[in-house]
Amino acid sequence: MTGRKLLSAFVALFAMTLLMLTAGTGSASAQQSPNCCVYFVDVQVSANCFPIPMWIKWNNVPNGPAAINGNGNFVFAIPGMCPPASSFDGVSLAGAAGPYATYNHPVTFNVNGCCLVARIGYDANGCTYIYIRQQQPPC
């Protein structure tokens, strides 16, 4: 084997090993920090979309509805004893049965005739951020 082919084979093997080590076996996800006992909801939609009913699923148990009655940034306490914080499973604007938006799966809901998208993010401290935005129909 020539030096060039050997180098190419080594680089390919190294790249594959690096990808396997960094990718892991699960899907891409993030999680609420066990030390963060609140979550944040950032709502920016038209006035005719309110009230917005919101269910949050913690440890696979739906909690809600919490009624969002206006635009703004809201802070909610995580239910139960904290710390450690419960595991965040998703947010629904359609009822306790879902569907639920998750970190890697935003969901569009039809609420009061408005198409609202729920997206999940996390801040540098691992606290859950729920972003609710309006989009043009169809939902």
pLDDT digits (tens, 9 = 90+) for 105-129: 999 999 999 999 999 999 989 999 9
Q: Is residue 46 part of a domain?
A: yes
- Residues with Cβ within 8 Å of 24's Cβ and at least 6 positions away in sequence, in order, are none
* pLDDT for res 72: 97
pLDDT at 114: 96
Higher-pLDDT residue of 18 and 89 is 89
Asked if residue 28 is part of any domain, the answer here is: no
| φ and ψ at residue 101, rounded to 5 degrees | -80, 140
106 domain residue, yes or no: yes
Q: Which of 30-34, 43-47, 126-130 has the lowest mean pLDDT?
A: 30-34
| Domain extent for 112 | 38-135
Is 94 within the bounds of a domain?
Answer: yes
The count of structural domains within the chain is 1
pLDDT digits 0-9 by tens, 69-104: 999 999 999 988 899 999 999 999 999 999 999 999
pLDDT of residue 30: 60
The Cα–Cα gap between 126 and 120 comes to 12
Q: Is residue 50 part of a domain?
A: yes
Would you say residue 82 lies in a domain?
yes
Q: How many CB atoms lie within 10 A of CB 35?
A: 12
Judge whether residue 4 has pLDDT over 90: no
